[in-house]
Amino acid sequence: MSRGNFKNLQAVLVAVMVLGLSIGLTGCSDDNSPVTVPTTGSISVDVTPDDIGVSWVLSSQDKLLASVQGDSTFSSLAPGIYTLTWGNATGWSTPTPGTVEITLQAGDQLSYSGTYAQVPGTIVIDVNDDSLDAPWTLTKPGNVDVTGNGDATFTDMPVGSYVMTWGDVLDYTTPGSEQLAVLDGGTVTFTGTYTYAIPNGFVMVDAGSFTMGAPVSELGREGDEVEHAVTLTDHFLMSKYEVTQAMWDEYMGGSSFSTMPKTGVNWDQAVAFCNAMSVAEGYTPAYTINGSGNVTWNRDANGFRLPTEAEWEYACRAGSDGAFPAGQIAALFCEEDANLDAAGWYCYNSDAAAHLVGMKSANDFGLYDMNGNVWEWCWDAYTAAYEDLGATDPVNDGGAGDSRVVRSGGYLSYSHFCRAAARSMATPTLAHSMYGLRVVKTMP
């Protein structure tokens, strides 16, 4: 055999040996077991929070695989396209996107998480009435306080229990605290209804219209009592009784407990009393006092004050068009007049002395001694032509030292001076033994 042929034979033998070895290695492993190639996959679903109880759906292209609540894992799924659809839960936001398309290949182990968030709620705070700007404290879950005033609306409020505590408003009763729960992203409303608390010893006089003055046919009518229409636009409080000695001493200093009317009061002193009472009760004084008879009425103040002449007559009449609450005047001087005798003290029945307040009948507004007992100071400076002051909330502020109006008549007065329309006047410094006062307060 030639040398060239021998080399070719060697090469063939080597190739055969390599091929045999390769075949042997391919057909076996170290442990003599066959190698497994994955043919399926798995999908795991994780729902947060765990206890929400929401259902979700897993489906393939041709069938529904499962409708499940909570966490779950699906194994041995054939490769393909699957759809995961998150369910809805009331009060919770659904994961985004709401539907997930899954391409599963052999050997895949896929996981998908669906996180649900509670839908926040809304809290509405409604104060009645709206003008009060009442304070409040809202306690949120976790004892976190939010404070504010008046109406308010809060969104994005977490689910849970809330407590509303209403604050105090001067002159009003405070609503009780209230606890409400925000659930399922809903809306709850805290309503604080404040009601005006009429102070002891006062009555509410509602705004309204009346005819001021006296008809020409009324017995005892004077020339400065021309009838004219008047409208009062503000509600106001008026003291049921004339200011007593006890009430005067409470605010001006003294120790009296008497319910006799305070007398011997001039207009300057009456104004000062109103301011003292306002300060003591926590209100803004109605008057700026610049000297005797020189006073400015601060109409925006909420303090006590003297009635305007129109307010006084409106309150005295209490809806009546008679001279007295019970009817018309029958006697001009000190004769007996049944209608006046029922309402007040005058020269016929007083024994020449003032009497305890509230001993006669009240008028239809619940006011006592509006006819007789003591003359009562009004705010207005006197003008004979008061019909020229206007038809709406008429008032004559006057100037320093001007004479001021007194109304009601006194225990020594003739009956015709005690009529609802009767008018008189005096200088601001005159402290007559029959002069007293009663106070009013504009409603907020």
The residue segments making up the domain with residue 428 are 202-442
Q: Are residues 100 and 229 in the same domain?
A: no
What does each C-alpha distance from 250 to 25, 239, 266, 273, 390 come to in angstroms? 118, 15, 18, 10, 38
Q: Are residues 209 and 189 in the same domain?
A: no
Q: Are residues 102 and 238 in the same domain?
A: no
Q: What is the token pair recorded at 194?
A: 């404040």
Closest CA to 203 of 444, 440, 18: 440
Q: How far apart are CA 31 and CA 34, in angstroms?
A: 9
Q: What is the token pair recorded at 340?
A: 């006046």
Reading phi first (left if > 0) and then psi (alpha if -120 to 50, else beta), residue 360 is in beta
Query: How many alpha carbons lie under 13 Å from residue 53 in its C-beta half-sphere?
Result: 2
Q: Are residues 340 and 428 in the same domain?
A: yes
Closest CA to 339 of 416, 226, 411, 242: 416
Does residue 323 belong to any structural domain of this protein? yes
Does residue 8 belong to any structural domain of this protein? no
Residue whose structure tokens are 């391409």: 103
> Which residue type sits at 435?
Y
**CA 255 to chain CA centroid, nearest Å:** 40
Q: What is the token pair recorded at 30?
A: 């170290």
Q: How far apart are CA 198 and CA 172, in angstroms?
A: 8
Helix axes 245-252, 267-280, angle to 10 degrees: 70
Does the pTM surpass 0.85? The reply is no
Q: Are residues 167 and 240 in the same domain?
A: no
* pLDDT tens, the chain, 444 aa long: 444 443 443 443 333 333 333 333 344 444 566 678 899 999 999 999 988 889 999 999 888 888 889 999 999 999 999 999 999 988 888 999 999 999 999 999 999 999 998 889 999 999 998 889 999 999 999 999 999 999 999 998 998 999 999 999 999 999 999 999 998 889 999 999 999 999 999 999 999 999 999 999 999 999 999 999 999 999 999 999 999 999 999 999 999 999 999 999 999 999 999 999 999 999 999 999 999 999 999 999 999 999 999 999 999 999 999 999 999 999 999 999 999 999 999 999 999 999 999 999 999 999 999 999 999 999 999 999 999 999 999 999 999 999 999 999 999 999 999 999 999 999 999 999 999 999 999 987
Q: Are residues 212 and 294 in the same domain?
A: yes
Q: How far apart are CA 418 and CA 401, in angstroms?
A: 26
Q: How far apart are CA 55 and CA 69, in angstroms?
A: 4
Q: How far apart are CA 331 and CA 214, in angstroms?
A: 16
Q: What is the token pair recorded at 339?
A: 């209608």
Q: Are residues 294 and 432 in the same domain?
A: yes
Does residue 33 belong to any structural domain of this protein? no
**Secondary structure class of 38 (helix, strand, coil):** coil
Q: Are residues 113 and 126 in the same domain?
A: no
Q: Are residues 263 and 326 in the same domain?
A: yes
What CATH number should be reported for the domain holding residue 214?
Answer: 3.90.1580.10
Closest CA to 122 of 101, 138, 108: 138
Closest CA to 396 of 248, 244, 263, 224: 224
Element containing residue 73 per DSSP (H, E): strand 72-77
Closest CA to 214 of 139, 82, 332, 323: 323
What CATH number should be reported for the domain holding residue 176?
Answer: 2.60.40.10
> Which residue type sits at 188?
V
Q: How far apart are CA 439 and CA 272, in angstroms?
A: 12
Does residue 404 belong to any structural domain of this protein? yes
Are 74 and 48 contacting, i.e. CB atoms less than 8 angstroms apart?
no
Are 242 and 261 contacting, i.e. CB atoms less than 8 angstroms apart?
yes
Q: How far apart are CA 186 and CA 190, in angstroms?
A: 13
Q: Looking at the DSSP assignment, which residues form a beta bridge with residue 196?
A: 172
